[in-house]
Amino acid sequence: MVGVLERTIYTCALMVPGSGIQLIAGFLALKVASRWHSSSGPRSTVDSDNIWMIGTCLSVLFGVAGAWIALGHAPALANIRTISPVQ
């Protein structure tokens, strides 16, 4: 559920003209700050950190792909604006 919400945030942020990258950067900064580890004390394993990074990267990629498709840049959607409803 969190991943779906995260991808929706990325997609919507990239569809906002001008400020999408700043919104994504701010959200990623909040995510990193919440998982920040100190050098002392118990720490999660490197494997869980790698899984977290891979999941975050996939969410960003899915958000970019979703915004690209939603904005009509996909080849199958490129001609949709020029098709008249009545022929």
pLDDT tens digit string along 54-84? 888 898 899 888 888 888 776 655 555 665 6
Q: Is the pTM of this model over 0.75?
A: no
pLDDT computed for residue 33 by the predictor: 84
pLDDT: is 2 or 85 the higher one?
2
- What 8-state DSSP symbol labels residue 67? H
Report if residue 67 sits inside a domain: yes
Report if residue 48 sits inside a domain: yes
Report if residue 12 sits inside a domain: yes
Q: For residue range 7-27, list pLDDT tens digits in order.
A: 888 888 888 887 778 888 888
pLDDT computed for residue 14 by the predictor: 85
User: What sections of the chain are H helices per DSSP?
Assistant: 2-15, 20-34, 46-70
Domain count, the chain: 1
64 — alpha (psi -120 to 50), left (phi > 0) or beta?
Answer: alpha
Q: Which domain holds residue 20?
A: 2-34+43-77
pLDDT at 46 over 80: no
pLDDT computed for residue 73 by the predictor: 72
In angstroms, the CA 12 to CA 67 distance is 7
pLDDT computed for residue 77 by the predictor: 56
Angle between the N-to-C axes of helices 2-15 and 20-34, in degrees from 0 to 180, rounded to the nearest 10? 150
